[in-house]
Structure formats: structure tokens, C-alpha cells
Homo-oligomer: A and B are copies of this chain.
């Protein structure tokens, strides 16, 4: 009865989306060590940082150092997020493989997040995407608040489609659909994907779930049933959401990979190495990571 892909691509966003929301700053050398462990664990894609002004995200002020310091495996795509041309310049100097750009499907969230209306955002992204492609880079787009906005509530799917189309027209190769506040439910994911499939192929879309209300793996399941093969995650469930009090982080890659492997879906990732990498970054953050895999491990340590 259940029809799901045999193999999926996991994109690790922990070094960027995870660490940018952590209260404590991790030294660049630990980030480099961690990203090297992620490479070793078998990821094909790691978003290593964001080239953004340190005034906005001090946790990622060492993007250049991290990008320069990691060991590059030629079979892995190392990506960096950039908000504008200044960010792109930094990213291109470090020769990352792929550039990510982002905007919101919600007018209000976009305004609060990057101080621009949706229509003011396109020209900025156009310049970034054109320049990145000229430099030989592929570009990934993130659309946030696809499944709900902390200010506007529900976002009409037509608006998500409009923003998505504009981003593909500008030259992105993949779109990551963000459940920024972790409010998506499986019925909604089913409905939104049913609409999106009329305009995009499943290979163009990635799902970016947060686990705020515990529904991320259920939302992953319904996405798999729709044929989606690309999922973002942050190891250990790192992260959080600055807009929703109490909101928890990205879906934990370790929990996601565990479920997929149990379902006989290949990811190319070694779970033992993945969990070792999760314990490493937990030790550097000095606070317990929320993934179920890490909760089990932490409890086992407590109990001896």
C-alpha cells in the first residue's frame, strides 16, 4: 500500500540553520571538525554557513574561515546561504559549490526578516543568482513560511506557487519549501504538494520541516508518498525559531535518517558516524540536543 522512493537525498543544514539559532557560539575550528565528520558520515550535501553581516547572525561570522578550513570531498556539494551581493562575494571568494538564496512566501514575514516587500526582493535575488551562475555555481532557493506564517497565519498556496515560479524563472535549480514555524500537518502537506505538483516536478522540490509540534516525520512520510526525494535536516535537531517562542529546531537528521533506513530507503549516510558527529557537536554546545536518537543516548549515559 505505502509507495515511497527507494532512495532519497538528505541535505544537512545544521551548520547553518542549526547553529545560527544556538545561543552559544561554536569556535570555527570545532565547526570545521564537525563538518569534516559530516562529510565522513556520507552526506552528499552540506550547507556549511551563511555569508551574512555578523550584526545579524554573529554565530556565523566565521563563514569564510569555515569554508576555507573544511576538507572538501569532490563527491559532496558544499553550499552557503547568502542574503545579497555582499554575501555572494564572500561565498564566491571561498569557492563553495552552491549558493542558497531565500525569501518568504509571506509579505509580512519577508518584510520583518529582510526588510523588503516580496516584489522588492526579486531584483536583489536576480542579481545574486545571475552573478552566482556566471561564476559557475548552481543556486538553491528557500521559500519560508510555506505552511504558515507567525504574522499572517495561513499562506495561500497560490502565493507559494507565485513566489516559487518567480524563483525558478530567476534561475534556481531546486526549491526548498520551509515549514518555518513547524506548524505543518500531513493533510496540509498533502494539499500543498498536490497543488505544487501541477507546476513543478518532484525533483525540483525539497522539504524543509521543523519539528516544533512533533509532526516533522509524519510530514516527511506524506511527502515521500508524493515522491519527494530531497529533505533538509539539522543533526540532533539543532536550531530553533526566532519568531515563535518555544519553537524547536529543524527536523533532526539523525531521527530522519533512522526512520528512512528502517523503511529500507537509502540515504548513503552511515548512522554510526552520524551519531558520533551529533555527540561531537552536542559536547561543543554544552547542552542536550533534542533529537530522539540523542535523547536515548544521553539517557543511557545518565543511567550508566
Taking beta carbons and an 8 Å cutoff, which residues of A are in contact with B?
1-2, 4, 185-188, 190, 194, 211-215, 217-218, 220-222, 225-226, 245-248, 252, 255, 258-259, 262-264, 291-293, 295-300, 303
Nearest neighbor of A189 in chain B, beta-carbon distance:
B2
The minimal Cβ–Cβ distance linking A94 to chain B, given in whole angstroms, is 35
* A263 lies within 8 A of B295 (CB): no
The minimal Cβ–Cβ distance linking A137 to chain B, given in whole angstroms, is 35
At the interface, is chain A mostly helix, strand, loop or mixed?
helix
* B185 lies within 8 A of A248 (CB): no
* B245 lies within 8 A of A303 (CB): yes
Nearest neighbor of A3 in chain B, beta-carbon distance:
B190
Q: A1-B190, A246-B300 are in contact. Are A218 and B295 (CB under 8 A)?
A: no
- Residues of B within 8 Å of A226, CB to CB, are 1
Copy total for this chain: 2
* A263 lies within 8 A of B300 (CB): no
A218-B218 Cα distance, complex, nearest whole Å: 4
- Residues of B within 8 Å of A221, CB to CB, are 186, 218, 221-222
- Residues of B within 8 Å of A247, CB to CB, are 296
A4-B218 Cα distance, complex, nearest whole Å: 14
A187-B5 Cα distance, complex, nearest whole Å: 12
Nearest neighbor of A4 in chain B, beta-carbon distance:
B187
Nearest neighbor of A291 in chain B, beta-carbon distance:
B214
A239-B67 Cα distance, complex, nearest whole Å: 44
Q: A292-B248, A296-B247 are in contact. Are A185 and B2 (CB under 8 A)?
A: no
The minimal Cβ–Cβ distance linking A180 to chain B, given in whole angstroms, is 15
Cβ-defined partner of A246 (8 Å) among B187, B259, B295? B295
The 25 sampled A-B contact pairs (Cβ below 8 Å) are A1-B194, A2-B186, A185-B259, A186-B259, A187-B262, A188-B263, A211-B292, A212-B296, A213-B259, A213-B292, A214-B214, A214-B217, A214-B255, A215-B259, A215-B262, A217-B218, A218-B218, A218-B221, A218-B259, A245-B299, A246-B295, A246-B296, A246-B297, A246-B303, A248-B295
Cβ-defined partner of A264 (8 Å) among B187, B264, B292? B187
Most buried by B among A187, A245, A298: A187
- Residues of B within 8 Å of A258, CB to CB, are 213
A225-B186 Cα distance, complex, nearest whole Å: 11
